[in-house]
Structure 1
Amino acid sequence: MNRELAYVGAAMPVSALSDNREWLIEGQRDLEIQDPFRPELLDGDWRSVVRQARDLLDGYSGRMGIHGPFMSLNILGYDPKIRAVVAERLLQGIAFAAELGATHMVVHSPFMFFGSPFLPHAQANRLADDIAVVHATLEPVVAAAQQAGCTLVIENIQDTNPAPLLALVRSFNSAQVQMSLDVGHALLMQRIGGPTPDQWVREAGPLLAHVHLQDSDGHLDRHWMPGRGNLNWYALFEALDTLAHQPRLLLELREKAEIRAGATYLAERGLVR
């Protein structure tokens, strides 16, 4: 599907907004605020951070979300006490999103599979059991997200096969739960037999709501600007062009000062604006 080129946006903390404000507003680019992944912020005065962000974003009307809490958290918790802690943290993330007016929150995939990507997820009915446990964890979070008008996007982390993550997303049967693709994570898992980032796009299809764009050499989760690693950007955007919708496109770079350069690299190759 040949569509007008999308404006690429970026993920950043509130402290980086002033340097990128004009660029964000110029194209009403996608934006992701990263601060709420930090537990010390969620236990502190996070509302002042939200107020600062809202002040800096006066004039911005693009698609904005947050990266939810993930440190030491796994949404697949068979221990009910662990589930309670995870749900509590994610609910704090939703509260931050609601106060900010954010409409997506990134949540990390729980699947860490020790085996070949071509094998079933686990023996017998383990995937179904895992999905049931995730539902038990996320039930109050999904309800709060719906109330806040915020979509949970579950991001591939150590997933070597898209099938379990896509089965999890489909199991909610809700527009409130969609998939996020981190192309650098997919590139890393490709080294042990996982599909290419562009194949992840094709597998996810209409469930793909959100994409983290970063480059890597395939050895570490580098979060380099595009062009520094060996990701096949042409194949990725060719796959994205087959979608009937436009996922949120966000550069997620370790060096925030390189956001504009990363966007320029992709724009000069006719992939984004």
Structure 2
Amino acid sequence: MQRLALRMPNWVGDALMVLPIIDGLTALNIEVELLGKSWLADLFSGYNVTTFNIPPQLFKAQQEYKRILAKDVVLFTNSIRSAAAASLANKNTVGYLTVGRSIFLTHGLKKAQGLHETEYFFNLAAYAVNNIFAKSLTKKPEFKLKIGQNSVKNAEDILLSNNINANYLVLCPGATGHGVNGESKVWPYWDGLIKALIKQKIALIACPANNEIEKFTQIFPREVKILPGVNLSTYAAIMQSSKLVIANDSGPLHLAAAVNAQVLGLFGVSSPKRVAPKNAYILGELGKWPLLSQVLQALKEYL
């Protein structure tokens, strides 16, 4: 059995960009092991993959790498530490040649410039598959996150218990991380948008992460149904059944796009050309947020 371990990105949105690679490896009958954050097991519960939680501490990470069956690891992370942990566990490593990492890479690839993040990831995986297995990795033009039946059932039960019908919008005003100059990735006109949507008597829901519950409770009026404690796969199922998802450049934006939900993405700090899902409708650009009037005009296509 041929196996390949993928050290996944540390952000949900980036991890979803690896989906075409997982599909491509499966088509080549290569068994996949996913390494990274603990939420990988839930996010990819619809796939026949093994997941491993890699701790941030170098020694503990090294010990976890020793547990995996694959001899070869593709590193979608760019840190020296992630490469060192795999290398010190006697794994063959494949990664981009960022500063200081070459000593820990069995196969290093120079990173091209100006590509979408999905292309960066795919190029590295294709390079690895060619060098390790002498095979060609192919990518389907479209891909979709597989959701397990348990997650679909959980989503249905949550919506039913909260009297939410099929015509609902999912609001995702949170965003982790910042721009290169420390700017917030949160669109500045959420308050006005929510007031406008409430006037139209549209069912609105929000599914905050555990660290967002208090903030969401404070900023949302009672007309927005807050559904806390929803795991990623169930969240994906809720989005898939929605009328529309509105999100900042964030994990939820990519999660909604990955299940082919109708998505309106709001950009102003990061570059849509580099990171936006290709099947989402995007407003804004690097350095320029969309106005509230522009977002309301775009919503007429969906409501």
TM-score by length of 1: 0.28
TM-score by length of 2: 0.26
Q: Tell me: higher relative CO, structure 1 or 2? Use CA pairs within 8 A at least 6 residues apart.
A: 1
Higher helix share: 1
- Which is higher, the Rg of structure 1 or of structure 2? 2
